[in-house]
Copies of this chain bind each other. A is one copy, B any other.
Amino acid sequence: MNASPLPLPEVLISEVGPRDGLQSIARVMPTADKLRWIDALHAAGLREIEVGSFVPARLLPQMADVAEVVAHALTLPGLTVMALVPNLRGAEAALAAGVHKLTLPVSASTAHSLANVRKTPLEMIEALRSIAELRDERAPGVRIEAGISTAFGCTIEGRVSEDAVIRLAAQAIAAGADESGLSDTTGMGNPAQVKRLFTRLRAEIGEHAGAAHLHNTRGLGLANCLAAFEAGVRVFDSSLAGLGGCPYAPGASGNVVTEDLVFMFEAMGVRTGVDLPRLMRSREVLQQSLAGEPLYGHTPQAGLPLGFVSA
């Protein structure tokens, strides 16, 4: 469609702020602001955005307008429009709305899975199977991602078996997911573990290995992303201004900050396709719409280094 003269990005930054960020904040961002924000992210060069989740509005009023947000995002050229679905019913609505990609959280920790979606991990695999069948029937072009959450540890169970994580990812692919990534939902991961698990994941499911969704809870977000990159991962979830992802306290954000992640890769000479100054300016939407909400990110505060050249 677009025979762009620009070299292709070497990593894909998958922005999760409009879903993961907004669902962690009590107040509801007005739909018009969501659309402005998504437009700004797209204009900065982001090509995959998780725009919302298809969950009952009584549970997450922040996501009540998700179909409208999806409809707008679908008009942006070259953008992969993603949404989270917790179950078959959510998947039906998401497919009806026309999303390009579904993501389903499958927790490796039974305790977390029950607390989060009231299903065991294997029940989630069965839900995934039904969703994949529905997709095959109604919209075979739509991709399904299974994000293995609590893959690096659980706040309820503590350590999570690495074998169980890898087995679950393989089961997700066998049940019909196109890709399976690993999520450090609780910010417990470390670079050695991240490298080991993603290496095992690629050995187990090959090209179906999906995104690294890593958190900055203990400050290791970027170090963990670097470790994942070294293990061959090329898709990274992150959130503008580090919005969302279970923040514990000011300064201890949850999600990896998109601005810092893009800075790291571009400074290393790894192309992200993202215009960093423009990305940083897109924080203005958040500053206006979520005034008072803590916005994270070191690079936006320090500015780009003198003589900085993007990759």
Contacts and interface: CB of A to CB of B under 8 A. Distances in A.
A98 interface: no
A190 B220 contact: no
A306 B223 contact: no
Interface in A81-130: none
Contacts of A71: none
B249 A301 contact: yes
A216 to B, nearest CB: 7
A interface SS class? loop
Contacts of A305: 153, 155, 158, 186-188, 218
A69 to B, nearest CB: 29
A157 B155 CA distance: 47
A219 B218 contact: no
Interface stretch (A16-24, A198-206, A259-267): A259-267
A154 interface: yes
A92 to B, nearest CB: 36
Interface string A286-299: 00000000001111
B225 A222 contact: no
B306 A158 contact: yes
Interface in A220-249: 220, 222-223, 225-227, 248-249
